[in-house]
Amino acid sequence: MPSISATSFTRDFSAMSGLKPLASKGKGNVAVILPDTVSSARYVEFDAPYLTKALKAAGLSSSQFTVQNAQGSDSTELSDAQTAITKGASVLIMDPLDSGVGTQIEKYAASHGVAVVDYDRLTLGGSRKYYVSFNNVNVGKLLGQGLANCISAWQVAKPDVLVMYGDPTDNNATLFGDGYNAVMKPFFSAGKWKQVGKAAGTWDPPTALTEFQQQFTAHPTINAVLMPNDENAAPIITYLQRKGVKAKSFPITGQDATLIGLQNVLSGYQCGTVYKPIYLEAQAAAALAMYLRAGATPPAALVNGKTADTKSNVSVPSVLLTPQWVTPSNMNSTIIADGFVPAKQLCKGKYQKDCAAAGISG
C-alpha cells in the first residue's frame, strides 16, 4: 500500500503520483462539493482547479470524479450530493455551507455507504470519516500576533481595538477566534490595549462594513481592528481611506491572501494576511479520498491530528496543514513563488512602487 505524509505535498503535485496504485483498486467516483463563490474567491480560483489536478495526478480519469459549487445554496449543496451519490460516488469531499446542511448530507451519505471527507470546514454534529484543513486555531494565533506586531511597528500609542469575527455558524470562525483571543487576552488584561465595541460576526463584506461603521460611530477612538479575513477588511479600509486615515497608522488584519488584501498589505493599510497554500489542502483531501475509495486506511503520517466536534463530543481524525503570516517582507517567497497571485496582477498601477520596495518585480 502506498504511503504519504502530511508534509509530502509540494507545488508540483508530484507526491500524488505515488497514489496511482490505489486508483485501480478503488470503486466508484469521487464527488467534490464546494460551498459558494462569495465568502472567498478561493473556491473558484484555486480549490476547484487544484482538486481536479490532484485527483488526476493520483490516477483518476475525468469520468471518475466531479467538482461542483453549491453557489451559496443549502438546497443546492444537498441535491448536488444526492445526485452525485445516485450517479455512483463512493467518496464525497465536501465543504459544508453550514453544519445544518453538512449534517443532512453526511446522514444521507452514511445511509448509502458513502464516505465523507470534511474539507476546510468541519460539520458540527456530522458523521464524516476525516477532516482536512489548516490548523485554524493557529490561523487565529497568526492573526493575533500579526496585530500585536503591527501595533508595535506602526507605533499605535493607545490601541483601542475592535475585535471582529466570521460567521458564528462557521466552526472555523470559532477556531480563529479561539486563536486570536488567546493571543490578545494578555494585552487587554495588562491594560496595554483596550477592547472597544462588539461585532456579531459575518463573512459578508457589506455586513462587516455596516458592523464596523456602527461601532466606529459609537466608539470613534477605535484605531485597530482584528479582522479575520481580507474580504471583510477591504471595504473597511476603503471607508477609512475616504476619511483620510494614513498608511501604517490604523492596523487591520486579514486572511486568505486575496489580491485586494495583498495590495492593502503592500500599501500599508493592512498589517498582513494569513496565507493558506490551498494546493496543500487539495492534495491532502484527494489523498484521503484515494485511500477511502480503495477501502484502505490512510497512514498515520498523513492523518496528523484530531479536531474536536463540539456538538457530537468526538475527536475527528484530521489532516492539519500549516498556515503562514504574509507581510511585504516574505510576499515574494510565498505568494509569488507559489503562483497564488501573479506579480503582474499584484503590481498594477499605483502598487508598482510598493512591489518594488518589497522586491517584487511585476
Residue from 62, 72, 69 nearest 39 by CA = 72
- Our count of domains for the chain comes to 2
74 shares its domain with 215: no
Question: Locate cell 475592535: which residue?
Answer: 162
In three-state secondary structure terms, 144 is helix
Query: Does any domain span residue 362?
Result: no
314 shares its domain with 341: no
Amino acid of residue 292: L
53 shares its domain with 143: no
* Segments forming the whole domain that contains residue 174: 136-275+325-356
238 shares its domain with 340: yes
Q: What is the pTM of this model?
A: 0.84
Element (H, E) at 194: strand 194-195
Take residue 232 and report the three cell numbers written for it.
471583510
As a whole number of angstroms, the distance between CA 258 and CA 340 comes to 9
As a whole number of angstroms, the distance between CA 119 and CA 133 comes to 6
CATH of the domain at 317: 3.40.50.2300
pLDDT in tens, the chain (362 residues): 778 999 999 999 999 999 999 999 999 999 999 999 876 678 998 999 999 999 999 999 999 999 999 999 999 999 999 999 999 999 999 999 999 999 999 999 999 999 999 999 999 999 999 999 999 999 999 999 999 999 999 999 999 999 999 999 888 899 999 999 999 999 999 999 999 999 999 999 999 999 999 999 999 999 999 999 999 999 999 999 999 999 999 999 999 999 999 999 999 999 999 999 999 999 999 999 999 999 999 999 999 999 999 899 999 999 999 999 999 999 999 999 998 999 999 999 999 999 999 999 87
271 shares its domain with 281: no
Phi and psi at 44, nearest 5°, equal -85, -45
Q: Give the orientation angle of helix 74-86 with respect to helix 99-111, to 10 degrees.
A: 20
As a whole number of angstroms, the distance between CA 342 and CA 335 comes to 8
118 shares its domain with 210: no
As a whole number of angstroms, the distance between CA 40 and CA 34 comes to 11
154 shares its domain with 256: yes
64 shares its domain with 202: no
Query: Does any domain span residue 80?
Result: yes
179 shares its domain with 217: yes
Take residue 302 and report the three cell numbers written for it.
498523513
Take residue 104 and report the three cell numbers written for it.
443532512
Predicted pLDDT at 42: 83
Query: Are the C-beta atoms of residues 281 and 120 closer than 8 Å to each other?
Result: yes
Instruction: Show the beta-strand stretches assigned E in 83-185.
Output: 89-94, 115-119, 130-134, 160-163
